[in-house]
């Protein structure tokens, strides 16, 4: 049964950015609730849409359309699974890197600090490692790294130390227990923001999101045809920086190489010189869009 849990973010801007022609082969690398996929199909004519999602819940939203194929795997394997379908090149690739609203709203998935639930956070529930594994088994140094790097938390050392001291007394197995364990580290003026950073850092580590994103971007470059479009929506500075640098320079450091004559060597023309963000009306209608940033690049 179709689960109506996803309002597509920046819908018009995304479809316009993909520059779809009738008969194109298109990838939606983050199917989720299928909101963007349905919009893509409206513009596709007799083309084909290949959607990726490793979350088993996404299968409930499968689209009954002969042009549509759902590939139940992480988008980091984009190139391999397209080849399995006999596809070497596509016309455009889209990704919305936000966590599904459905996942945030289901307590047992453990993605949100708003509910008490198991400390899980796995996108792929066949994975062995979950957030409880990270919180209870990582060393203090490892915890410090992920909170500093992936959460950009200023008191990451204090936070890691507090978790280690609390888990000695009792294992931290639920979101409520984690909140209680770190309560003394939270600046009261930014409690929700701080907790969001803590949960973001754990989610990124559990799902290996940064490495997966790097592999996806490189695969997208490999499979795109010349003049093919890459359209990505990001929600936090780490992933946005990776996408911005990759579109600018073809690498994740943003280092632009030049040839013998001083001409810039880059695999893309960046279409969005200024990042696209939601307007006030969209944010009012969908508050989870407020941090979204859309970037578009065209393969040379």
Looking at residue 167, which CATH number applies to its domain?
A: 1.10.150.170
* Burial class for 275, CB neighbours closer than 10 Å (0-12, 13-18, 19+): middle
Dist. CA 120–CA 178, nearest whole Å:
12
Last residue of a domain, one of 154, 179, 206: 206
- Identify the segments of the chain with pLDDT beneath 50: 1-4
Residue 1: the pLDDT is 38
Residue 2: the pLDDT is 42
Q: Which residues contact 40 (CB under 8 A, 6 or more apart)?
A: 15, 18, 20, 26, 28, 49, 94
Same domain, 150 and 279: no
Same domain, 216 and 284: yes
Q: What is the pLDDT of residues 110-121, one digit of tens each?
A: 999 999 999 999
Angle at the Cα of 138 from the Cα atoms of 133 and 141, rounded to 5 degrees: 155
Residue 5: the pLDDT is 52
Domain that holds residue 141: 128-206
- Which among 149, 155, 29, 156 has a CA at the least distance from the CA of 82? 29
Structure tokens at 14: 């995304």
Chain-centre distance for alpha carbon 136: 25
Residue 223: the pLDDT is 98
Domain contains 292: yes
Same domain, 87 and 149: no
Same domain, 69 and 33: yes
Inter-CA distances, 140 with 134, 155, 165, 182, 284, Å: 11, 13, 10, 14, 40
Last residue of a domain, one of 161, 182, 206: 206
Number of domains in the chain: 2
Same domain, 70 and 199: no
Domain contains 3: no
Inter-CA distances, 23 with 11, 90, 125, 210, Å: 20, 11, 35, 33
Residue 260: the pLDDT is 87
Last residue of a domain, one of 162, 182, 206: 206
Same domain, 78 and 93: yes
Same domain, 215 and 89: yes
């Amino acid at each position: 049964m179709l689960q109506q849990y996803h309002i597509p973010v920046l819908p018009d801007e995304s479809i316009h950015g993909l520059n779809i022609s009738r008969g194109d082969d298109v990838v939606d690398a983050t199917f989720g609730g299928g909101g963007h996929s349905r919009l893509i199909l409206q513009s596709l004519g007799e083309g084909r849409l290949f959607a990726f999602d490793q979350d088993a819940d996404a299968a409930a939203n499968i689209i009954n359309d002969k042009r549509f194929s759902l590939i139940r795997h992480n988008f980091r394997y984009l190139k391999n699974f397209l080849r399995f379908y006999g596809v070497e090149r596509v016309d455009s690739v889209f990704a919305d890197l936000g966590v599904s609203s459905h996942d945030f709203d289901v307590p047992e998935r453990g993605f949100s600090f708003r509910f008490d639930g198991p400390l899980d956070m796995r996108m792929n529930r066949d994975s062995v490692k979950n957030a409880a594994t990270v919180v209870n088994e990582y060393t203090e140094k490892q915890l410090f790294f992920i909170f500093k790097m992936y959460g950009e938390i200023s008191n990451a050392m204090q936070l890691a130390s507090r978790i280690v001291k609390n888990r000695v007394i009792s294992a931290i197995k639920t979101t409520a227990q984690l909140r209680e364990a770190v309560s003394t580290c939270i600046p009261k003026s930014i409690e929700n923001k701080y907790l969001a950073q803590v949960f973001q850092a754990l989610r990124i580590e559990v799902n290996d999101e940064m490495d997966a994103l790097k592999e996806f971007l490189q695969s997208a470059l490999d499979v795109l045809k010349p003049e093919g479009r890459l359209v990505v929506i990001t929600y936090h500075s780490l992933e946005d920086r990776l996408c911005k640098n990759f579109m600018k320079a073809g690498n994740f450091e943003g280092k632009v190489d030049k040839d013998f004559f001083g001409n810039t060597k880059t695999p893309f023309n960046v279409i969005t010189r200024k990042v696209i963000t939601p307007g006030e009306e969209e944010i009012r209608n969908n508050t989870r869009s407020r941090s979204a940033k859309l970037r578009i690049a065209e393969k040379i």
